[in-house]
Amino acid sequence: MVNNETYPATIVEVIDDTTVAINRGAKHGVRFGERFLIYSLSKREIIDPETEKSLGYLEIKKGTGRVTNVQDVMATIESDKTVNPDKRVIRRTKPIQNPLYAGLGSIYDYQQEEEEVIEMLTELVPFKNPQIGDKARPI
């Protein structure tokens, strides 16, 4: 259950531009695979010009990610956005045993079989300038 005292979490470590650590973990209900919004708050408070009441601070999105590691009071979040999915086709020949000649110890024991493997190559989109002190909340 998410409550106002649990979130927002704070970024406590920037591991690299695609991975950050937050100060919430299993004790706070964070689960492996859970999605989070990573953001900072605007420098100034936003005031409604019609009512002149405070609307609070604007969330400036830095990216989204998934929890990849959960500890008691910390969790690691990795960007879940990818770019440029490329395909790489690998063709290889692998030997298969010919049942007609099995065990005869001749060159006829094995035939060749073509195998095609397609790999999807993707690159993670980095968070936009993540900083210690930025915020995170489940989405």
pTM: 0.70
Query: What pLDDT, in 10s, does the model give residues 38-76?
Result: 999 999 999 999 999 999 999 999 999 999 999 999 999
**pLDDT number for residue 22:** 98
How many helices (H) does the chain have, and how many strands (E)?
0, 10
Decide if 47 contacts 55 (C-beta within 8 A).
Answer: yes
CATH 2.40.10.410 range(s) for the chain read 9-82+124-138
**pLDDT number for residue 23:** 98
Range among 3-7, 36-40, 96-100, 112-116 rated most confident: 36-40
Asked: is 9-82+124-138 a CATH 3.90.950.10 domain? The reply is no
Strand partners, 11: 22
18: tokens are 């695609």
pLDDT tier for residue 28 given thresholds of 50, 70 and 90:
very high
